[in-house]
Amino acid sequence: MPENTPTGLTGLAFGGDYNPEQWPESVWREDMALMREAGVTMVSVGIFSWALLEPSPGAYDFAWLDRVLDLLHENGIRADLGTPTVAPPAWFYRAHPEALPVTAEGVRQEFGSRGAICHSNAAYREASSGITGQLARRYAQHPALAMWHVHNEFGVPVSACYCSSCAVHFRDWLQTTYGSVEAVNEAWGTAFWGQRYGSFAEIEPPRVTPTVGNPAQALDYRRFADATLRENFVRERDILHRLAPGAPVTTNFMTALSQCDSLDYWAWGREVDIVTNDHYLITDGRRTHVNLAMAADLTRSVAGGAPWLLLEHSTSGVNWQPRNPAKAPGQMARNSLAHVARGSEGAMFFQWRQSRRGAEKFHSAMLPHAGTDSRVWREVVELGASIEQLGPLKGTRTVADVAVLWDWHSWWAQTLQWRPSEDHDARERA
């Protein structure tokens, strides 16, 4: 049985996403020294590195990742090692353009961002199994390995694809779920507006229609899309369990109801060895501390009450909202420790060193552009010391006094088109 806590971590986890491939190796030594100064115990590596690890089909370059993992081990830092399957290389799409996702409007989304994946696509499934197997075989015995981090934030930014491969996959899912096309007609109420189907072959994904489409079809497509993403998680997880037994396997959830609306995390929580979560503050005037508390409690619930781990949050502002205010002095520590109080086995961030290039260069980090002579860095070092002192909390449970019932499928049903009032929002407390 795989462990359900990061291997080799004696206290709480403190650290962040570490992307050394974005920097010259001369910077890596400084990273190690500063990580030690900050009390970093674990970092997430390799999450978007497929194009560097497999620069051309079947040709691998693991030397740089070997050096990174060896350096981490020499410095007593554990590695949450990513399978980079959220970021297939450009060469993959050149060979398999049909693996790019298609929107409900029929627009194929292009390479050049991240997460552009049709999860039903056979070539994607084969290629992602290939790189996952390579990593599992190479690093199963590496002494820095603490756990496996499959993919990244399933469901974000693409939660469903509407291409012809997904249509075939959807029909298979319907056949398994309902058994007969008559049962589909009954469940979807297709007598309404003449939508009756004579065979599974006549059914398509709920693409754009002249006016509102069949609501039960739309709801089933959300269930199907969620199940399809989970199939790909389970496929990678099983490869890792088989080739690298022992280390726990996770994928980072986004349980805040304002950040990911496409996964049924009750079902996902049953598939991971350890529940991990990413949480970011939405600064549109809502009470962010309420959102944080609910997300953390929901994450603990998804974990069945067991400890979980905050795998990403931010030291200060993010960069993907219209306005991204910096956190006030002390706000980072308060938020980090609020997660710990609600059952997190530590506090990790996106990311360790603030990027100098790319779409997230204005996103805050543990080591900001301003360097170590900065408030953020001083607060990070202070928080690292606090997290170290809280080591005895590892493995302890948080007990709730009250319960709130929450069901993702019910929420999805409440968001379908044409209902009594759009003002009703099941998430109003979130």
Catalytic sites, residue numbers: 153, 312
Report the nearest approach of Zn ion to the CB of residue 84 (Å): 20
* Site string (103-132) toward Zn ion, x via CB under 5 A: ---------------x-x------------
Nearest CB to Zn ion, comparing residues 119 and 241: 119
Report the nearest approach of Zn ion to the CB of residue 67 (Å): 37
Report the nearest approach of Zn ion to the CB of residue 118 (Å): 3
Report the nearest approach of Zn ion to the CB of residue 272 (Å): 24
Q: Are 136 and 244 in contact (CB under 8 A)?
A: yes
Nearest CB to Zn ion, comparing residues 83 and 120: 120
Nearest CB to Zn ion, comparing residues 170 and 268: 170
Assign 250 to helix, strand or coil. strand
Scored b (16 or more CB within 10 A) or e, 105-132 reads eeeebebeebbbbbbbbebbbebbbbbb
Assign 180 to helix, strand or coil. coil
Alpha helices in 63-150 (DSSP H): 63-74, 90-95, 122-139
How far, rounded to the nearest angstrom, does the alpha carbon of residue 145 sit from its chain's CA centroid? 19
Is 166 a residue that touches Zn ion (CB under 5 A)? yes
How far, rounded to the nearest angstrom, does the alpha carbon of residue 9 sit from its chain's CA centroid? 22
Q: Which of residues 24-63 bind Zn ion (CB under 5 A)?
A: none
Q: Tell me the pairing of strands 308-312 and 78-83.
A: unpaired
Contacting residues for 170 by C-beta, under 8 A, at least 6 apart = 203, 204, 205, 221, 224
Nearest alpha carbon to residue 118 among 51, 57, 58, 168: 168
Nearest CB to Zn ion, comparing residues 167 and 326: 167
Q: What are phi and psi of 312, to 5 degrees?
A: -145, 135
Calculate the alpha carbon distances from 42 to 69, 76, 207, 230 in Å.
11, 9, 43, 26
Nearest CB to Zn ion, comparing residues 229 and 274: 229
Helices H, strands E: what count in the chain? 13, 9
Cα end-to-end span (Å), the chain: 36
Per rule CB under 5 A, count of chain residues that contact Zn ion: 6
Contacting residues for 341 by C-beta, under 8 A, at least 6 apart = 398
DSSP 8-state symbol, 161: -
Nearest CB to Zn ion, comparing residues 118 and 310: 118
Report the nearest approach of Zn ion to the CB of residue 162 (Å): 7
Nearest CB to Zn ion, comparing residues 131 and 166: 166
Report the nearest approach of Zn ion to the CB of residue 120 (Å): 5
Give the range of 9-17, 153-161, 198-206, 345-353 binding Zn ion by CB under 5 A: 153-161
Is 99 a residue that touches Zn ion (CB under 5 A)? no
**147 vs 136: CA distance, rounded Å:** 11
Report the nearest approach of Zn ion to the CB of residue 359 (Å): 24
Is 161 a residue that touches Zn ion (CB under 5 A)? yes
Q: Which of 34, 163, 229, 347 binds Zn ion (CB under 5 A)?
A: 163
Interface positions with Zn ion (CB under 5 A): 118, 120, 161, 163, 165-166
